[in-house]
Amino acid sequence: MITDNVLTGVIQNPILRGFNPDPCIVRAKGLYYIAVSSFEWLPGVRVYQSGNLAEWEHATDILTHQVDLRGNPKNCSIWAPQLSYHDGLFYLIYTDVKSTKRPFKDCHNYLITAPDITGPWSEPVYLNSSGFDPSLYHDEDGRKWLLNEIWDYRMTESNKSSGIVIQEYDPQLGRLTGKPVKLFDCTPLMKTEAPHIYKRGGYYYLITAEGGTGSGHAVTVARSRDLLGPYEVDPLNPMLTSSGRPELPLQCAGHGSLVETPDGEWYMAHLCTRPVNGEYAILGRETALQQVRWDEAGWLRLTAGGNAPLLAVPAPQGAKPAAAVQPCVFEDDFSGPALKKHWNTLRISADERWCTLRARPGKLRIYAGESMQSLFRHHIVAVRQTDISFRAETELEHEPECYLQMAGLALYLNEDNYLYAYTTHEEGSGKVLRLMGCRSNEFTAEPVIIPVTAGQPLRLAVEVHGTNAQFLYRVSGAGEWQPLGASYHIGFLSGGFTGNFVGIAAHDMQQFLGSYADFSYFRYQGLEE
């Protein structure tokens, strides 16, 4: 999916729409790259690239086989990757979070490297588990330092992020050396995380996120003449935030990282949300860019003044004109040798055992997995919702033999929040079309039951307009699209750390891999708002 996000000379935010949080931006080999968190969705750590900071396209996904996410709770798994480039190598630091059950956090930090953004990537080197959001700083003297948030379970319930620690990393030994040093305590905003260090004008600048990832999110800047501190906080802190201004179109601004253009201009990539109807972050946390500058005192400022995130910012000098924002279009007719790279799967990678294009050429066969609420083998293939309004449709062939077998089209935030239109088998009725939902962990089997003819392909669609979703169905090649039940308010597909996905799936609670569904195509079309 290519995002055309710029009018002439203007970057339009967000630059990465839909679930694309915790951006880390870097310039390498003549291009700009942004890596974002992927949480429980695989492949992990999505990377976008741009030649001008204005137009971005999906370049690659890095974690393809290095992680085992089965059983990880929702909102855990791959957090806040940090991408850097030094001495001809890309370095990726990431966290695999296994549990966030209070008062503890089980989070393991790893390092992998590659000569090119598309790999091949090395096997993971384990670093530590003391806190999340790790980053690697390459100092001018050749030494490398790992930073991460430090978690202290003894602290009060409202704030257990006690600041930032730093420890030297020895690339020859492939491990941390020495003792960790407490680099920075929290400001009154608290919940300090997402550390990045940049050196400029004799100062080490520490960029952190504070205030939590919700409405109080912010970017805090501190600096020191010495890498190990002490660090003084920007007197106008926070440098960027939407806090206390619900009228702003970009909310939850924070978690920033910096990049310098070849012409000496500076930009900050940061997290944000666009609440639908001012309330529901259905698209999840997105990525925006702000142009920044260094003031006379050497502090980082938005070039537009103030500290509020803007929808439109100046593009770099000399950037070529680009088209205005267009709704996203994605289609896979399953005629290729592999799934298109935009697809995602949940906690497990797509492989021939359950997701194949070979069993029936021109079709995607999904062998049925565990239930819609499984944390282990949920066989769903999905794409991000990137537009406030969209239509998605598919065609499937599925011949269930009992009520425990199902396949269809889903809106899916997580195992506690989803809507699912599916074919199944009901005693006395045969093959039927039904709708189920789960809202804040409260399951509902909707009463609408539509008999459908066995042996015939069935088309399913969903149209979303803001907070309203309507499922539809149609017998392939005959008749008009018909509504499946009433429309639904989907504000519940909001919250947590991810965003809404739309996907196709197959489930069988009678026999694992015992049944399957064949899908002929999938199409996602963003609609004008």
Q: CA 10, CA 55: separation in Å to the nearest integer?
A: 11
In a domain, 324, yes or no: no
Q: How many domains does the chain contain in total?
A: 2
Q: Are residues 334 and 309 in the same domain?
A: no
What pLDDT score does 1 carry? 44
Q: Are residues 308 and 334 in the same domain?
A: no
In a domain, 319, yes or no: no
Is the previous residue joined to 230 through a cis bond, with omega within 30 degrees of 0?
A: yes
The structure's pTM equals 0.96
Q: Are residues 305 and 344 in the same domain?
A: no
In a domain, 176, yes or no: yes
Catalytic annotation, pick one of 22, 149, 286, 508: 22
Q: Is 193 a catalytic residue?
A: yes
Q: Are residues 405 and 302 in the same domain?
A: no
Q: Is 185 a catalytic residue?
A: no
Q: Are 107 and 96 in contact (CB under 8 A)?
A: yes
In a domain, 511, yes or no: yes
In a domain, 177, yes or no: yes
Q: CA 203, CA 90: separation in Å to the nearest integer?
A: 24
Cα–Cα–Cα angle for 242, 34, 298, nearest 5°?
A: 60
Q: Are residues 307 and 374 in the same domain?
A: no
Q: Are residues 222 and 264 in the same domain?
A: yes
Q: Which residue, among 400, 342, 427, 269, has the nearest Cα to 58 in the 3D structure?
A: 342
Catalytic annotation, pick one of 193, 234, 393, 463: 193
Q: Are residues 258 and 399 in the same domain?
A: no
In a domain, 321, yes or no: no
Q: What is the 3-state secondary structure (H, E, C) of 483-506?
A: ECCCCEECCCCCCCCCCCEEEEEE
Complete edge-to-edge strand list for the sheet that includes strand 77-86: 77-86, 89-99, 106-114, 125-128
Q: CA 254, CA 218: separation in Å to the nearest integer?
A: 4
For residue 193, what are the domain limits?
2-314
- Name the domain boundary from 271, 286, 314: 314
Q: Are residues 363 and 507 in the same domain?
A: yes
| Distance, C-alpha 146 to centroid of its chain | 23
Q: Are residues 183 and 45 in the same domain?
A: yes
Residues in the chain with pLDDT < 70? Answer: 1-8, 320-323
What pLDDT score does 321 carry? 60
For the chain, what percent of residues have pLDDT higher than 90?
Answer: 93
CATH number at residue 505: 2.60.120.200
Q: Are residues 199 and 297 in the same domain?
A: yes
Q: Are residues 384 and 269 in the same domain?
A: no
Cα–Cα–Cα angle for 419, 456, 482, nearest 5°?
A: 50
Q: Please, which residues have CB within 8 angstroms of residue 439's CB and are 6 or more apart in sequence? A: 417, 492
Q: Are residues 343 and 252 in the same domain?
A: no
Q: Which residue, among 462, 347, 367, has the nearest Cα to 407 in the 3D structure?
A: 367
CATH number at residue 256: 2.115.10.20
In a domain, 322, yes or no: no
Q: CA 405, CA 434: separation in Å to the nearest integer?
A: 12
C-alpha atoms less than 13 angstroms from C-alpha of 55 in its C-beta half-sphere: 14
Residue 477, H or E segment:
none
Q: CA 259, CA 436: separation in Å to the nearest integer?
A: 46
Q: CA 526, CA 529: separation in Å to the nearest integer?
A: 9
**Range 44-67 burial, b when 16+ CB lie within 10 A, else e:** bbbbbbbebbbbbebbbbbbeebb
In a domain, 239, yes or no: yes
- Name the domain boundary from 286, 314, 342: 314
**Range 399-428 burial, b when 16+ CB lie within 10 A, else e:** ebebebbbbbbbbbbbbbbbbbbbbbbeee
